[in-house]
Structure 1
């Protein structure tokens, strides 16, 4: 049996201390959603379970090879044709909080959008806390640059002895303009610098998207709306550069589909879910692109120091020492 000190170490996997529930609407379907996130066994990873489909057909593993659609969000599916959409904000929250294993029970084909960010998920996880598990955490360590391009857009994963995301966006002629930000995802960086950034859209696209069956649940309560050079939301922005921060959030959620934390530096110009998923395919098509290590091995090889992932609740085993690379 592992002692308390060892199970608090960053080298071990973590799950939620207890189940937690969310109720909201789907951003694109506009339908009401009930979702319950439950602790899971060590080594199980992140699993979605659709409760509104036939028994035995609802399980979907949150992995890059299960991505079925990337238009405006990331959708996962299984061999039965069952899907769950808009998973990226929740996956970013789980990765940002150092959660390795969880079962996400959901009664609809889309994760609730909540306020358009990862913040509601993060706050709830912090309140209930996490527990370390008796299995060593594994990581993927990037060994050489991997690049994908689409027109003027590109994404590059580079070797790096930690986890960093650098994003550059350019929406010239709008309130967004050009923004660049680089975040090293250690300590409480995700919680403080990324988690509260909301999804965003443009007023001139709203009618078209709804005609296409998209954004039916979108509102000023769950998205930042841009009208030319003006922010429509009365409360304004949560960060002066909220847009690029949300792109970092999206990228982290899509990278979480690797199944374990990625140790490397993602640099992307004008990224989107399609580009992110293409990058995952490019990464895993060649085994020499990456090394699969335990966190122990990674820290030993690189000489890196463990980083605090942020508080996970006052009663958590890891409230004092929740140390997970994201």
Structure 2
């Protein structure tokens, strides 16, 4: 494989807590991560709502894709802005965790996934005794919408190829591609921050978005089409790296890491979700596989398993 795949499921070593603000709500929020048993998956629980239901981190639970990815019922129990956290859990190999959140949004932290990486590193990862399963892409699946497109293609590993094209000299056309594992994610993707334009602020506020956005959690492009953050960019192409971070988080809602290549041009949360639904709705386009054994620390063989076990993934 282009990226080494791991044989067993993982959870967290112990409980860990983070606090911050919601980038859209502007309200303080605290989130607790608890270790969970094999085959639990990633499950959110709104602890600020009496009798609230569990919200599973699956594509079937997506309730909104405007400026972020939200899970659950937009008019009831929901958790928004899950993408940076989901990307981190997927990249670092955390399969099972119970997440308690006391608001309707995951805290934005510094606009990247760095704080989530640090939190997981703080408690470590615990291996479980159940085999991990992967979604292996068998044939191309493509979604197009008004000049934008996204597609899955077979690939010997887990690869992302993302291209953006903005009518702004500060961004322009950028492309970034990588076979992603935990080390690549930590070094090249996790620290890329969300971004936006100063000219859009009043419109977003009026619509109830970006109420918690600031220079502390966003890269902001000013009226002169230049970055106004004093510290500048963390990477020369931080914008497209952040779009890759978003795509990783959205695709983690498959319920398992995929073996294949995801490519997109001028993509976003809505297109990412549509591409994932397109893949999972075509039973001939993928198979569920797991490792059979290892040799000298490397995966020796991947074999197909009964996909019915993972029926909750399907849409």
- TM-score w.r.t. length of structure 2: 0.90
Please report how far the alpha carbon of residue 300 of structure 1 lies from its aligned counterpart in structure 2 after TM superposition.
4.3
Name the structure 2 match of 1:136: 131
Q: Out of 276, 283, 292, which is 2:279 matched to?
A: 283
User: In the superposition, relative to structure 1, how do residues 221 and 180 fare at CA in structure 2: closer, same or farther (>3 Å)?
Assistant: same
Partners of 2:293 and 2:129 in 1: CA distance:
17
Which of 291-300 and 33-42 deviates more? 291-300
The question of whether the paired residues in 2 share the 8 Å contact of 1:139 and 1:295 is answered with no
Partners of 1:259 and 1:218 in 2: CA distance:
29
Partners of 1:169 and 1:295 in 2: CA distance:
35
Q: Out of 85, 88, 110, which is 1:90 matched to?
A: 85
Q: Out of 23, 45, 51, which is 1:27 matched to?
A: 23
Name the structure 1 match of 2:311: none
Name the structure 1 match of 2:141: 146
The question of whether the paired residues in 2 share the 8 Å contact of 1:155 and 1:271 is answered with yes
Please report how far the alpha carbon of residue 187 of structure 1 lies from its aligned counterpart in structure 2 after TM superposition.
5.0
- 1:71 equivalenced with 2:55 (yes/no): no
User: In the superposition, relative to structure 1, how do residues 152 and 297 fare at CA in structure 2: closer, same or farther (>3 Å)?
Assistant: farther
Which aligned pairs between 1:3-14 and structure 2 lie closer than 5 A?
Answer: 10-14=6-10
User: In the superposition, relative to structure 1, how do residues 76 and 187 fare at CA in structure 2: closer, same or farther (>3 Å)?
Assistant: closer
Name the structure 2 match of 1:319: none
Please report how far the alpha carbon of residue 156 of structure 1 lies from its aligned counterpart in structure 2 after TM superposition.
0.8
Name the structure 1 match of 2:33: 37
Name the structure 1 match of 2:307: none
Structure 1, residues 54-76: CA drift from partner, whole Å, max 9, x if none? 22x23100000100100000000
Name the structure 2 match of 1:255: 251
- 1:200 equivalenced with 2:195 (yes/no): yes
Partners of 1:203 and 1:239 in 2: CA distance:
21
Please report how far the alpha carbon of residue 183 of structure 1 lies from its aligned counterpart in structure 2 after TM superposition.
1.1
- 1:174 equivalenced with 2:176 (yes/no): no
Q: Out of 111, 114, 117, which is 2:112 matched to?
A: 117
Q: Out of 223, 229, 233, which is 1:233 matched to?
A: 229
Please report how far the alpha carbon of residue 172 of structure 1 lies from its aligned counterpart in structure 2 after TM superposition.
2.8
> Superposition RMSD on alpha carbons, in Å?
1.8
Name the structure 1 match of 2:102: 107
Which of 38-47 and 289-298 deviates more? 289-298
Q: Where do 5+ consecutive residues of structure 2 fail to align?
A: 304-315
Which of 102-111 and 223-232 deviates more? 223-232
The question of whether the paired residues in 2 share the 8 Å contact of 1:197 and 1:238 is answered with yes
Which aligned pairs between 1:306-321 and structure 2 lie closer than 5 A?
Answer: none
User: In the superposition, relative to structure 1, how do residues 125 and 141 fare at CA in structure 2: closer, same or farther (>3 Å)?
Assistant: same
Name segments (4+ residues, structure 1) moved above 3 Å: 78-81, 295-303
Partners of 1:287 and 1:109 in 2: CA distance:
34
Partners of 1:100 and 1:288 in 2: CA distance:
25
Please report how far the alpha carbon of residue 162 of structure 1 lies from its aligned counterpart in structure 2 after TM superposition.
0.4
Name the structure 2 match of 1:316: none
Q: Out of 59, 62, 86, which is 2:54 matched to?
A: 59
Partners of 1:295 and 1:64 in 2: CA distance:
24
Please report how far the alpha carbon of residue 127 of structure 1 lies from its aligned counterpart in structure 2 after TM superposition.
2.1
Partners of 1:263 and 1:103 in 2: CA distance:
25
User: In the superposition, relative to structure 1, how do residues 131 and 199 fare at CA in structure 2: closer, same or farther (>3 Å)?
Assistant: same
